[in-house]
């Protein structure tokens, strides 16, 4: 986010914290995807991102590749019950079990013209578990792949382009999980981290960091990012997904 957009977001978010009525703050164009609510079926944190800006004769593009880590609830397309049960057998699978996920994703977003902020994404997601017979370094995170799921869809980055640090995605499972969940649709929201530095000329964020807080599609405030949600001291982009 450039300085002017960061400053616009700072003014907006400071207004939320101070209790300024929503009507007093200019709103971005609403994303094209439906509202999401309740507990997400899957959540990811973006650990790394490599982004390039590409200028073409008729349009500009923002292209990026990311590595993400996350988890999904048992019974979702990213944590299919039958696959997990077979992998953990003969150990029972708790009802609240969550699969760990590792993903490599890419997106391409238009930066000019009528589709500014709109684009597409795709990702390959490894569903991983900790083996029940762990005998080596069990303090290490899960890493055994039991399935790979591929997804693709559309992304709406327009709120972030207008200075409000979030966006939405909508996609479907294109393959994986041995046929479980293939074609399943999902909607999601990604939250960009920010700080509340009042000086727009300060390019370096400093803690504490925040994400926006939502009630369905409405922004209702901010939530502070906790130390366990940082990676090597850096705040992360968070993706929350709901399956339809």
How does pLDDT run across 81-140, given as a tens digit for each residue? 999 999 888 888 888 999 999 999 999 999 998 889 999 999 999 999 887 666 555 677
Residue 43's nearest CA partner among 109, 125, 106 is 125
Angle at 45 between CA 33 and CA 221, to 5 degrees: 60
Tell me the whole-structure pTM to 2 decimals.
0.81
Question: Rounded distance, CA 158 to CA 181, Å?
Answer: 29
How does pLDDT run across 27-85, given as a tens digit for each residue? 444 444 555 667 899 999 999 999 999 987 778 999 999 999 999 999 999 999 999 99
Q: For the chain, what are the domain ranges?
A: 3-243
In DSSP notation, 222-239 reads EEEPPGGGEETTEE-EEE
Mean pLDDT within 185-193: 93
């Amino acid at each position: 986010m450039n300085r002017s957009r960061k400053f616009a977001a700072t003014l907006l978010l400071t207004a939320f914290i101070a209790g300024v009525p929503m009507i007093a703050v200019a709103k971005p164009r609403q994303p094209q995807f439906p509202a999401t609510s309740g507990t997400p079926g899957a959540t990811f944190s973006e650990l790394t991102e490599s982004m390039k800006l590409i200028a073409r004769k008729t349009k500009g593009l923002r292209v990026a590749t990311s590595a993400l880590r996350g988890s999904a609830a048992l019974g979702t397309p990213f944590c299919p019950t039958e696959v997990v049960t077979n992998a953990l057998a003969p150990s029972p699978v708790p009802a609240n079990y969550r699969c760990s996920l590792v993903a490599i994703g890419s997106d391409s977003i238009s930066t000019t013209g009528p589709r500014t902020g709109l684009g597409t994404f795709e990702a390959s997601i490894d569903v991983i578990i900790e083996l029940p017979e762990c005998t080596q370094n069990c303090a290490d995170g899960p890493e055994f792949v039991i399935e790979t799921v591929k997804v693709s869809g559309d992304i709406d980055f327009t709120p972030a382009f207008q200075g409000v640090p979030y966006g939405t995605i909508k996609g479907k499972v294109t393959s994986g999980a041995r046929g479980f969940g293939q074609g399943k649709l999902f909607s999601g929201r990604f939250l960009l981290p920010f700080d509340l530095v009042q000086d727009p000329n300060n390019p370096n964020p400093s803690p504490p960091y925040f994400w926006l807080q939502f009630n369905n599609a409405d922004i209702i405030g901010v939530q502070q990012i906790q130390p366990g949600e940082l990676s090597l001291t850096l705040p992360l982009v968070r993706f929350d997904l709901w399956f339809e």
